[in-house]
Amino acid sequence: MKQIKQYVNKQVLVLGLAKSGLAAAKLLHALGAVVTVNDMKPFEENEAAQELEKLGITVICGNHPLSLFEERGIELVVKNPGIPYSNSMIEKAQHLNIPIVTEVELAYQISEADIIGITGSNGKTTTTTLIYEMLKADSQHALIAGNIGTVACEVAAKAEQGQVIVTELSSFQLMGTLEFKPDIAIVLNIFDAHLDYHGTREEYASAKGKIYENLTEDDIAVINWDDKTVNLLAEKTKGKKLYFSVSSELENGVCIKDGWLTYLGEPIMNIKEIVLPGKHNLENILAAVAAAKSRGAGNEAIRKVLTSFSGVRHRLQFVDQMNGVKYYNDSKATNILATSKALEAFQNPVILLAGGLDRGNEFDELLPSLKNVRALITFGQTAPKLEAVAVKAGIEIIQRVDNVEKAVSAANEVSKEGNVVLLSPACASWDQYKTFEQRGDMFIDAVHMLK
């Protein structure tokens, strides 16, 4: 870890705990900052707050006192990524022109290791995992961090020179960056998502595009040739541009040519050898190859991963097969595009399990992907909206249930040999579940209970 001095005696407010706030508070304290933590969860129920208080850090729980800014002379706010900018404390900081960052900014500042940053509306976790596995297979010392589950600044604090941190980044995290600069930056795609947080598609895309903003000529911008918005975001970057495309042949990029995965015109492997299903995963694979090859990974390491890697948990994860019916967990599909791509991965008739948090959007964009769906089982706040689209699509069987567990039972009752039962909700989980992981785990448990 770089022993930076810029936080010594600096008054820093950490807003919101959870994993990222806890890690940021500990790191800033270790760097000599005067840390104040503010979290809405009551202190007596807040294990993280209690842990920090034992370290001598001031913790204020249960409310957001605006007076903290003047009383403490706050100079910087490090916020939990999920806290919206409409929060009263954030609005106060903005009014006072106090910088607001997320912990990934701290990760960049202290990291001795290189950083590969991956963002996009869909495919981040799969691409991040693929890059990590490819570099490991090439005997490179890779670490994995970010939105995939391990707090970036916590990993960066332990990382050493010569290592590389492969980091999944959300728009929430990137919006709170100022100087953050990965050595390799990837934007996979842009699709309408998180508009309840960002307000507009333009603001959402702009947050994603911050990953390219600070690149230098020594850095690499990996760009989806097929996505116009991604190309626009990368227009002004100073990084060396490396494109990937699933639809066009690129001499100076990563693409499919004559059935072969190629990098700068060099064939790496026949795509028939790739075990990860779905056209959308081909996009993720090409982006991963671009990053891995840019880090010097050999073709054999890449082939080894792509002939064995079958997916990450909660992302088109094969769960089980019973009576000729295959069950797949795609709980991480929290928007329409993710569910559309999941449906396109299957040729067999699908029984779709979908629903969740209502963010105000309609689901008509899902219509073209429903042609192979023979039954829809809905749950959650968006059940009525999804059912309306199912009627338009002419789906024969439409049922509403209370939760994912009951959806599995309902799907089992209507399924036939050769069908695929697919949990791909097209919605966030927060109306019924704390996380998409919890929702996916419930699906997995319910499938196993069928036996």
Residue 201 has what pLDDT?
87
- Is 167 one of the annotated binding-site residues? no
The Cα 37–Cα 19 span in angstroms is 13
Q: Just give the CATH number of 111-306.
A: 3.40.1190.10
Is 123 known to sit in a ligand binding site?
yes
CATH fold of 317-449, please? Protein-Tyrosine Phosphatase; Chain A (3.90.190)
**Domain parsing of the chain, residue ranges:** 11-101, 111-306, 317-449
Tell whether residue 121 is among the known ligand binding residues. yes
- Token readout for 439 is 């929702």
281 annotated ligand binder: no
Rounded-to-integer distance, Cα 148 and Cα 6, Å: 29
State the pTM of this model. 0.81
CATH class of 11-101: alpha beta
Same topology, domains 11-101 and 317-449? Answer is no
- Counting every residue written for the chain, the total comes to 451
Would you state the pLDDT for residue 316?
A: 87
126 in a known ligand binding site = yes
User: Could you report the average pLDDT of every consecutive run of 10 residues in the chain (451 residues)?
Assistant: 96 96 98 98 96 97 96 97 94 98 98 98 92 98 89 97 97 96 97 73 94 98 97 97 97 96 97 87 96 98 94 86 95 92 92 96 96 97 98 97 98 97 97 96 96 84
The pLDDT value given to residue 132: 98
For residue range 172-195, list pLDDT tens digits in order.
Answer: 999 999 999 999 999 999 986 676
Q: Which residues pair with 35 in a beta bridge?
A: 12
pLDDT for res 46:
96
